[in-house]
Amino acid sequence: MKAATINQARRSTAALPSKVDPMTYASTTYVEETRLGFRFLATHTWQHHVLRVAINDLKRLLGEPLPRGGTLLDAGCGQGKSFRLLREALAPDRLIGLDADPHSLTLAQAEARREGIDAQMLAADCARIELPDASVDVVFCHQTFHHLVEQDKALAEFWRVLRPGGWLLFAESTRAYIDTWVIRWFFRHPMHVQKSAEEYLAMLRGQGFVFDQANVSLPYLWWSRSKDFGLLERWGLRAPPPPGQREETLVNVAARKPLAGPEPLR
């Protein structure tokens, strides 16, 4: 199935049944991942070196006290490998896992049961979230945005469902990482929407989210440098270039919806 194939849209706020058609997506612009990419999201490497590290960094960017309790929306939850880490970090009273792929949601529901987590699964497009206005305290969006075609609409939806004072925890790969031969060969993304770190930061500010430098991190992790995966540095053959002298491959932001602020973009 080619990336441009459009599948019948399906949106539901109810938990998924035990058997669903894995080729029916909740987004008409869904870009199907490769088999390798789908399997990678279940690996220890993904959970330990990507998810865990990002959540720990976002906790640092939030500062103290951490926002605990309330409703947390995991936008693009995939197979639910983030659920345990999010519970440990933020202890939400209600956890909602949203994804456009019903097969991923079936696996995420099974993951929640294994971890003893009461999570609601929501088959939806990030650009069309069937949740009420101001009904969410935290939106966790980890390595999801570069998969989305309608990024402006998705960000506006994150703003809409967040309560005033709520947090968007945004962790993303940039164009400098996605647009490399290794990633393009093994994975599948909508290349025309990829952005730099600065472009993502400007997009968040344009929507009305507020943050300062203490809420932003530009990790330069080994796995995000797909030209050599940091091997030359690990072998002591060169030092990593400092910020300002490199193309940033990752951007993490703890951004807040103000208690009172400008009207959201439409």
CATH number at residue 186: 3.40.50
What is the number of domains present in the chain?
Answer: 1
Q: Which stretches of the chain score pLDDT less than 50? A: 1-22, 265-266
Virtual torsion, Cα 205, 140, 229, 199, nearest 10 deg? -10
Distance CA 122, CA 96 (A): 7
Residue 232 pLDDT: 72
Q: What integer pLDDT is reported at residue 262 of this predicted model?
A: 54
Q: Two tokens at 19?
A: 């058997």
What's residue 14's pLDDT?
30
> Where in the sequence is the domain holding 221, given as residue range(s)?
35-60+124-256
Q: Is position 236 within any domain? A: yes
3-state secondary structure of 163: strand
Residue 182 lies in a domain: yes
In a domain, 180, yes or no: yes
Asked whether the CA dihedral 122, 127, 130, 132 is positive or negative, the reply is: positive
pLDDT at 263: 53
Look up residue 61 and give its two tokens.
Answer: 């960017």
Instruction: Give domain status of residue 21, yes or no.
Output: no
Which pLDDT belongs to residue 23?
Answer: 56
pLDDT of residue 241: 82
Q: Read off the pTM.
A: 0.86
Measured N-to-C along each axis, helices 151-161 and 197-207 cross at an angle, to the nearest 10 degrees, of: 50
In a domain, 14, yes or no: no
pLDDT at 261: 56
**At how many degrees (to 10) do helices 83-90 and 52-62 cross?**
20
Residue with tokens 């990030």: 126
pLDDT value at residue 9: 30
d(CA 173, CA 186): 16
Within a domain: 16: no
pLDDT on residue 260: 74
**How many Å apart are CA 177 and CA 249, to the nearest integer?**
5
